[in-house]
Amino acid sequence: MNELRKNEVYEGRVEDYSHDGMGIIKIDQKPVFIGDVLKDEVISFKVIQVKSKFAFGKLLSVKEASKNRQTPPCEYYYQCGGCQIQVMNKEEQANFKRSTVERNINGLAGLNLEIKETITGQDSYYRNKSQIPVQKIDGNLVMGFYRPRSHDIVDIDHCYIQKDSHNDIMNFVKGKLIEENTSIYDEVKHEGLLRHLVIRSNHDDSEIQVVFITNGKRNEFLSITKALKEKYPNIKSVIQNINDEKTNVIFGKRSIVLLGQEYITDTLLGKEFKIRDRSFYQVNHEQTEKLYQIALDLADLSADETIIDTYSGIGTIGLVASKKVKKIIGIEVVDTAVEDAKENARLNGIENADYYLGKAEAVMPKLVKTGVSADLVFVDPPRKGCHREFLDSLIEVEPKKIVYISCNPGTLQRDMKYLSEHGYKAKSVVPVDLFPQTKHIEAVTMLERV
């Protein structure tokens, strides 16, 4: 038998992918996870870590390459932790995402559903939000993204997945920060000013927001703000967000407008949305429109229906559905997002929408007590999925349909399994690639009460 040992070199054929896009080769029944390899490739690798149930390996050479292997298009790919699967071409990325959904839904949850082909789209320069950490190392300003599993920044001047307008602004701000000798935050000493630069834009870059996230409220950004406005007339909003906590959370609770408006405006499926710095907004405009359209098609709404839009963010899904339904009830935990959702309803002349601030698992049971009824519920939780109390109250509401949008197949399968044990059945799940070049996977499904 082939005992697995650290630092030993092995050869094998990649059998499958892990949920985070690593290849799996089994040696002595033990799965070894290896990055930057494709399914069916024969590779040689060195074992770098052995745990009781699994191990990690490092790719040494590819003996038989997959036809779907590509040279990573980004020059920083092997240092930067932002993307994980640039060695796969578009087709293989779609295969990996579909197979991960399949393994979760049909393997782990045992639901035996049809898993549709992954819906793909533009796979470069798509991200409309960039959150760029800033540090000073040996007196030099560095801006970029973290190395995998670390807080060291890879200093970059170009990111392949953020919009090119963001690359431009990032480099411009960097030059100005150096020129102005702006105080930079030191996370070990918890002192210094600038922590992150955030850039967000609408679909055609006609409105861009720049956010300086700072430790404390000292404003050292007057001249940079002025220079930004002169160079980029489409920057409609410059914000200083204050975060003086010792934390990995990027945004603090207070924002001050340095220039222009508090928000930028974007259009999704013909509706307009105001987006403020702290509110959630999907990062890939083209794919979000496809995702929402699939959700709407699955919902197949009619004019006399009431819908509940849970985890509603700034109201996007419910509001794109609004003209088709009698009433919308939204639930969302971030206060500014709820304010945005109300404002967005007004902006689109929609009078049939009400929003509740609070955790879905707290608000939904309260709504149940008031005897609320709904024909359909949209569910779009964060990665950790739904709280059991929320699912229980959702089941109590007894909607005919639940349209579930998920950014984590692991929690989607758990929640779908629970719903299927309580009378809700789906037929299929559609993976939508909202995050090309990365391991992240979005999926949408519709469950019907049987």
Positions that interact with ligand SAM (CB under 6 A): 280-282, 311-313, 316-317, 331-334, 337, 359-361, 380-382, 407
Tokens of 267: 């259009």
CA contacts within 13 A on the Cβ side of 387: 12
Chain residue at closest Cβ approach to ligand SAM: 313
Write the single-letter amino acid at 399.
P
Write the single-letter amino acid at 93.
Q
> Residue 271: which H helix or E strand, with range?
strand 271-276
> Is residue 74 annotated as a catalytic residue, yes or no?
no
Residue among 368, 369, 426 nearest 398 (CA): 368
- When the beta carbons of 213 and 341 are compared against ligand SAM, the nearer one is 341
Residue 232 marked in a binding site: no
> Residue 354: which H helix or E strand, with range?
strand 353-357
> β-pairing, 424-432 with 114-115?
parallel
Tokens of 349: 């002349």
Coil/strand/helix, residue 439: coil
Kindly provide the residue ranges of all beta strands, DSSP E only, lying in 202-300, ordered along the sequence. Answer: 208-214, 235-242, 254-260, 263-268, 271-276
How far, in Å, CA of 91 to CA of 105, rounded? 21
- When the beta carbons of 62 and 331 are compared against ligand SAM, the nearer one is 331
If you ran DSSP here, which 8-state letter would residue 116 be given?
A: P
Residue among 130, 127, 104, 101 nearest 116 (CA): 101
Residue 282 marked in a binding site: yes
Instruction: State the distance between the two ends of the chain, measured CA to CA, in whole angstroms.
Output: 51
Residue 276 exposed, middle or buried by CB count within 10 Å (0-12, 13-18, 19+): buried
Q: What is the dihedral of CA 188, 174, 156, 263, to 10 degrees?
A: 90
68 in Cβ contact with 92 (< 8 Å): yes
Q: What are phi and psi of 189, to 5 degrees?
A: -85, -10
How far, in Å, CA of 327 to CA of 88, rounded? 44
Tokens of 289: 């429109």
Beta bridge partners of 406: 443
- When the beta carbons of 89 and 312 are compared against ligand SAM, the nearer one is 312
- When the beta carbons of 175 and 382 are compared against ligand SAM, the nearer one is 382
> β-pairing, 306-310 with 376-379?
parallel
- When the beta carbons of 305 and 361 are compared against ligand SAM, the nearer one is 361
Contacts of 100 (CB under 8 A, 6+ apart): 17, 19, 409, 441
Residue 332 marked in a binding site: yes
Least distance (Å) between residue 310 CB and ligand SAM: 7
Coil/strand/helix, residue 412: helix
What Cα–Cα distance (Å) separates residue 73 from each residue in 6, 17, 39, 83, 87? 32, 21, 20, 11, 9
How far, in Å, CA of 121 to CA of 143, rounded? 28
Which residues fall in the annotated binding site?
A: 282, 311, 332, 380
Which residues fall in the annotated binding site for S-adenosyl-L-methionine?
A: 282, 311, 332, 380
Provide the annotated active-site residues.
407
